[in-house]
């Protein structure tokens, strides 16, 4: 990662420390499909990681600046933007990449990921910018 990528990651880490909220990043596994019954076998399981998260309202000036600077698509009506670093709240690498259907729990609500955009610099993933809905 080059100097710009390092600066961006450092700035995002500081932003997460200052205003980010601790949340659970959850992917629910439904169990294996059983062809004979058409059901899923086993119990649903949660694949949880703890992250720091920032919500940005759709018409927020920060969101507009962030979108313009990083070249991400505008937030669609009915959704909000959520930003996480590509690491856990303790600084370790995430075990999974956010995808539509994933959930964030514990910020006073549960939201579902609708769309994900990856922020990369120098070949390294720095953060994920997601559209989420309630």
Spans of all domains in the chain = 3-133
User: Of 134 and 44, which is predicted with more confidence?
Assistant: 134
CA–CA distance, 101 with 70 (Å, rounded to integer): 24
pLDDT band at 97 (very low <50, low <70, confident <90, very high): very high
Let me know how long the chain is.
Answer: 134
In terms of Cα–Cα distance, which of 69, 82, 94 is closest to 7?
A: 69
Average pLDDT over residues 39-52: 74
Query: Which pLDDT does position 52 carry in this prediction?
Result: 92
Is the confidence at residue 48, as pLDDT, over 80?
Answer: yes
Average pLDDT over residues 57-68: 58
The CATH architecture that domain 3-133 belongs to is: Beta Barrel (2.40)
Tokens of 58: 């759709």
Average pLDDT over residues 86-107: 88
Average pLDDT over residues 7-23: 88
CA–CA distance, 115 with 124 (Å, rounded to integer): 20
């Amino acid at each position: 990662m080059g100097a710009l990528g390092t600066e961006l990651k450092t700035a995002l880490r500081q932003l997460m420390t200052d205003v980010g909220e601790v949340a659970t990043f959850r992917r629910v596994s439904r169990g294996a499909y059983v062809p004979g019954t058409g059901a899923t076998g086993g119990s649903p399981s949660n694949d949880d990681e703890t992250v720091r998260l920032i919500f940005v309202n759709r018409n927020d000036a920060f969101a507009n600046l962030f979108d313009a600077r990083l070249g991400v698509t505008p937030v669609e009506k009915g959704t909000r933007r959520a930003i996480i670093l590509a690491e856990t709240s303790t600084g370790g690498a995430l075990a999974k990449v956010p995808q539509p259907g994933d959930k964030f729990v514990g910020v006073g609500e549960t939201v579902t990921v609708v769309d994900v955009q990856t922020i990369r610099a120098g070949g390294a993933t720095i953060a994920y910018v997601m559209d989420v809905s309630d």
